[in-house]
Amino acid sequence: MLETFYTTATINGHEGDLIVKRNFGPEGVTKDEVLREPDKHLGAYTVMFRREAGYDPEDKDWFWIKFLPDGSLDKTPEGMPMAGQIAKGMDEGCIACHKGGGDDMVFTSDHLTT
């Protein structure tokens, strides 16, 4: 279950699209359970930020990052920080999943385009 926010932001002098998702779980949790106790069911925050042209043209210049509910950076089971172009070219992970997100790697048309 996701709660998604769309806006633009300026980071290090670059303005780009920003998508922030609050990820709730575990699988099978109901909407009523999440609404009743959102903090109990919050699993992670995932963020997409469209960086400057040329950052990663193959993946539409998106930067990816995943935070745990306490605000710390999540890591893969191997200990690699989940930020940047993490899992690029792999069969699993943010980029691999979002390849199915249409021409812009996003699963909704509600996002902004700069």
Q: Look at the block and give the residue holding tokens 């199915």.
A: 100
Is residue 86 pLDDT above 80, yes or no?
Answer: no
Residue 109 lies in a domain: no
Read off the pLDDT band of 109 (50, 70, 90): low
Whether residue 111 lies inside any domain: the answer is: no
Residue-number span of the structural domain to which 47 is assigned: 2-104
Domain assignment present for 113: no
Residue 98 lies in a domain: yes
Q: Is residue 17 part of a domain?
A: yes
Least confident of 11-20, 36-45, 86-95: 86-95
User: pLDDT, tens digit, for every residue of 13-42?
Assistant: 999 999 999 999 999 999 999 999 999 999
Please check whether residue 112 is in contact with residue 105, taking contact to mean a CB–CB distance below 8 angstroms: no
Is residue 91 in some structural domain?
Answer: yes
pLDDT at position 53: 93
Does the residue 88 lie in any domain?
yes
Inter-CA distances, 11 with 15, 46, 87, Å: 6, 17, 23
- The mean pLDDT value for 45-64 works out to 92
User: How many domains are there within the chain?
Assistant: 1
